């Protein structure tokens, strides 16, 4: 049992003290879900190896009762194993692959593209001693282009990224959480991406009335408002300009892709249409 119910978390922070890393965010949510307190070891990108006594070059890392655990999924699995009587994070073994699929989709659809919009703020918001390192490493990651050049044209890309999140909106229209009636680690992984977004977005990424907002707001409020750090930006407020795609679908099909197999009735209209019959009530 964690001494004083507290685990030590090595954070990855911006100058504001807000966490930047989505993997650290997921871990923070996971620790709070377990009802554990956190002793935060603060710091930015510079000196991770020194801070952790050579244990890792990447964060998160936690220490529980003197035991080091590295890697966000490993930490979540460790917490479930060590604290089985506390609220479950993963539970069924099928949750991990499904959550990984969801998260990979979100990275491909939005996190990666958003990165190309917010890299300058990502650097500028980091602690001053990180600026040079973040610039050099992120420019290398993006093929040697300057951060200032990478973000050019972002006002044209942001509406498309928002529009591309429709599948996620469809699922959350039908379900309160990815975990069902209550959040689990599948929610934490996805929420962590939006917490990362809030940590770096110096211009809004989603419409004020985006249907994702309900789940995001409930998620940021979890565990005493863990996602309400004052260093985070408002991610809502993107405006649709002439020529932009709709930022989200205001008239989703009653039985669209994410809800068509939710009972016999959900495909009745489709059956009727493909047989040239009139759909029933």
Residues lying near ligand GSH in the complex (CB under 6 A) are found at 12, 21, 23, 45, 58-60, 71-72, 137
Q: Rounded to 5 degrees, what are φ and ψ at 158?
A: -60, -45
Decide whether 138 or 157 has the Cβ nearer to ligand GSH.
Answer: 138
Q: How far is the CB of 222 from ligand GSH (least distance, A)?
A: 20
The contacts of residue 218 (CB under 8 Å, 6+ apart) are none
Nearest-approach distance from CB 21 to ligand GSH, in angstroms:
4
Q: Report the distance separating Cα 155 and Cα 244, nearest Å.
A: 10
Closest distance of CB 114 from ligand GSH, Å: 14
| C-alpha dihedral sign at 131, 216, 108, 48 | positive
Nearer to ligand GSH by Cβ, of 130 and 166: the residue is 130
Residue nearer to ligand GSH on the CB measure, 71 or 77 = 71
Closer to ligand GSH by CB, 44 or 170: give it.
Answer: 44
Q: Which is closer to ligand GSH, CB of 30 or CB of 235? A: 30
> CA of 222: how far to CAs of 34, 200, 239, in Å?
12, 21, 28
**Structure-block tokens of residue 30:** 């996971």
For 69, the 3-state DSSP assignment is: strand
How far, CA to CA in Å, does 18 sit from each of 14, 121, 204, 226, 231?
A: 6, 13, 18, 11, 5
Q: How far is CA 114 from the centre of its chain?
A: 12
* Between 104 and 272, CB nearer to ligand GSH: 104
Name the minimum Å distance from CB 3 to ligand GSH.
24
Residue 11 CB, shortest distance to ligand GSH, in Å, is 10
> Which pair of tokens denotes residue 201?
């977005």
Say how far apart CA 25 and CA 193 lie, in whole Å: 8
Least distance from C-beta 123 to ligand GSH, angstroms?
12
H helix intervals, 153-253:
154-163, 166-174, 185-200, 213-225
Please, which residue, 45 or 248, has the CB nearer to ligand GSH? Answer: 45
Q: How far is the CB of 115 from ligand GSH (least distance, A)?
A: 11
């Amino acid at each position: 049992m964690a001494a004083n119910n507290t685990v030590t978390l090595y954070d990855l922070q911006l100058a504001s003290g807000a966490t930047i890393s989505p993997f650290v965010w997921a871990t923070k949510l996971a620790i709070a879900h377990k009802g554990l307190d956190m002793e935060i070891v603060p710091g930015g990108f510079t000196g991770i190896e020194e801070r952790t006594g050579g244990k890792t070059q990447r964060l998160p890392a936690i220490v529980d009762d003197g035991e080091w655990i590295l890697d966000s999924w490993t930490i979540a699995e460790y917490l479930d194993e060590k604290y089985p009587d506390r609220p479950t994070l993963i539970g069924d073994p099928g949750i991990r692959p499904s959550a990984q699929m969801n998260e990979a989709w979100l990275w491909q659809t939005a996190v990666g593209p958003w990165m190309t919009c917010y890299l300058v703020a990502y650097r500028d918001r980091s602690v001053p001693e990180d600026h040079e390192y973040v610039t050099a490493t992120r420019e290398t990651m993006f093929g040697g282009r300057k951060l200032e050049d990478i973000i050019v044209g972002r006002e044209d890309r942001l509406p498309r990224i928002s529009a591309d999140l429709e599948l996620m909106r469809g699922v959350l229209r039908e379900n309160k959480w990815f975990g069902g009636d209550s959040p689990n680690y599948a929610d934490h992984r996805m929420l962590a991406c939006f917490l990362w977004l809030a940590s770096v977005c110096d211009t809004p990424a989603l419409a004020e009335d985006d249907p994702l907002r309900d789940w995001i707001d409930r998620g940021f409020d979890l565990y005493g408002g863990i996602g309400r750090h004052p260093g985070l930006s408002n991610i809502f407020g993107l405006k649709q300009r002439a020529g932009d795609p709709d930022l989200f679908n205001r008239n989703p099909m009653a039985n669209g892709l994410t809800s068509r197999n939710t009972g016999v009735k959900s495909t009745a209209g489709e059956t009727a249409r493909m047989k040239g019959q009139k759909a029933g009530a």
